[in-house]
A and B are shown apart, each in its own frame.
Chain A
Amino acid sequence: MTVHKEELGSGEHEAADDYVPSPRRLDRERHKRARARRATAIGALSTLLTAVVLYLVVVNAPGWPRTKETFFDWGYAREAFPKVLEGLWLNVRLLLICGVAVLVLGMLIAVARTLRGPVFFPLRFLAAAYTDFFRGLPLIINLMIVVLGVPALRLQGVTVDPVLLGGTALTLTYSAYVAEVFRAGIESVHPSQRAAARSLGLNNRQALRYVVLPQAVRRQVPPLLNDLVSLQKDTGLVSIGGAVDAVRAADIIVGRSLNYTPYIVAGLVFVALTIPMTRFTDWVTARMDRRQAHGGAV
């Protein structure tokens, strides 16, 4: 049930409203606040307890002193951090460019797979073959073929830049994943929506563009984000071609010092990059939901 503010605001009842919360309500709210406080206290206590137990387990492990030395060395961490950050800039650029390319290509492939009519058979077939192949092909092998194999061909006018080639390989694999996410989204939109759009006179393409895709994309935001985060991490794999990204920057220091702390630093930096992205998407999705739906108490 929706009641619009204007309707009530203009009604004669609004003026007669001299509402004062009853003692019953105040009592109920006191109880709820007390319950919330109790819940917070229990949460804090159990968090603390878990942290202490974890800490003790790790610190009392037989190999801890040695592990601490090789993986958690403050000196090496400080040395690695600026280098890793510098390298991370490459990962971020790769993520942005590949991300956009993946979304566009993935969408095109997904739409190609959902086209109806016999004329489109070759397109459907190609799209299906593409997703089957690149989803099945391990990314690392794809990267090696593209980054190492393409330069070996010595083709005129084709780049040998490991960053460009690595980005291409990432895009190939990830657009196959993302295409399947989009396709699942398109197929999850109830046929009645397409029927409604078509009966308004929209053609197949318009129905897809204005009615089906907007709903499909919204529904698929969480799995899409999943793939984008995954892509962000996998940008680290372009280092196999020699490009100096965050992982390679850490690698260089590790190779020289035989101390693994830089890897930990690089790992944490990647995690730190992911968290704001996840929260941002959660926020966007929650806001979209609030505007569309009326949830209720359950």
Chain B
Amino acid sequence: MSQTPVLRMESVRKTFGGSVVLRDVDLEVAPHTVTALIGASGSGKSTLLRCANLLEEIDDGAIWLDDEEITDPRADQDAVRRRIGVVFQAYNLFPHMTVSENITLAPRRVHGVARAEAEARARELLERLGLGGKADAYPDRLSGGQQQRVAIVRALAVRPRLLLLDEITAALDPELVGEVLTVVRDLKDEGMTMVLATHEMGFAREVADQVCFLEGGVVLERGTAEQVFGDPQQERTRRFLRRIVEAGRL
């Protein structure tokens, strides 16, 4: 792919206290592609996403968003985050705001969109994600799947350049996982660039253009979904996938 990557990481290193959580991580995410990060809990997937959004400060290495180095101390972190949407595992909706207020907060307060326009867009997105009529409900009144879809709408409302999805189905009931994954699938078809940390191997295999297997903070193996799932080169990748298959998750 000759296009400038949307997100590029080079030799990223992150430590918490004495422990190294990410070690020499390189990553390139081309426009309109989906990258899936797989690996056991604690392998560094979430930390990688948090670093990409500057929620964690990296120790070494560099990260570029559209060719701008965002880890440069002179970079405007808020401006960077304005271009990245994040969906969290635990939804992180604001409980004191209605669905519509959750969604229009950033467009109105950060991007200066007029209230009517922001609400119209919120309604349109909600409609598309099957949540029409929920605009005035409070998050606690919704099911987990509905809350997570609202969180996706909230991230999309500012038309981000890149969407980071951090195990967005991990807290959901199995029958609710489908509705959220459908949304991600649709977003891919629309050309949204996404990086997702996931335990849904079947979904990763289906939707990802690039799959990275992390262990101990290192990207041990990367390739197309076909390569990583069909013909893993590393013994540890094979072992991980075998465990997943044994657990009936692939």
Chain A interface residues (CB < 8 Å from chain B): 1-5, 7-9, 11-14, 17, 19, 21-22, 24-25, 28, 31-32, 35, 294, 296-298
Contacts and interface: CB of A to CB of B under 8 A. Distances in A.
7 contacts: A1-B42, A5-B19, A11-B216, A13-B23, A13-B218, A17-B23, A22-B61
Given A21-B60, A24-B62, A32 B73 contact: yes
B56 A297 contact: yes
| Max count, chain B CB within 10 A of own CB: residue among A3, A21, A25 | A3
Given A17-B20, A17-B23, A7 B42 contact: yes
A294 B42 CA distance: 14
B19 A297 contact: no
A296 B56 contact: yes
A132 to B, nearest CB: 28
A7 B215 CA distance: 11
Given A1-B42, A3-B42, A297 B57 contact: yes
A3 B18 CA distance: 10
Contacts of B17: 5
Contacts of A2: 42
A22 B73 contact: no
Interface residues of B, number: 30
Contacts of B47: 1, 3
B180 to A, nearest CB: 21
A14 B62 contact: no
Interface string B65-107: 0000001111000000000000000000000000000000000
Contacts of A7: 19, 42
A294 B50 CA distance: 12
B16 A3 contact: yes
Interface of B: 11, 13, 16-21, 23, 42, 44-47, 50, 54-57, 59-62, 71-74, 216-218
A21 B59 CA distance: 9
Contacts of B62: 24
Contacts of B42: 1-4, 7
A194 B78 CA distance: 38
Contact of A31 (B60, B74, B216): B74
A297 B13 contact: no
A217 B165 CA distance: 35
Lowest 5 A-B CB distances belong to which pairs?
A1-B46, A25-B60, A13-B216, A8-B19, A297-B57
A298 B218 contact: no
Given A7-B42, A296-B56, A1 B19 contact: no
B217 A19 contact: no
Nearest to A6: B19
B60 A22 contact: yes
A11 B39 CA distance: 15
Contacts of B73: 28, 31-32, 35
A4 B13 contact: no
A11 B21 CA distance: 12
Contacts of B72: 28
Contact of A1 (B21, B60, B216, B218): B21
Contacts of B18: 5
Contacts of A35: 73
B54 A297 contact: yes
A296 B166 CA distance: 15
B19 to A, nearest CB: 5
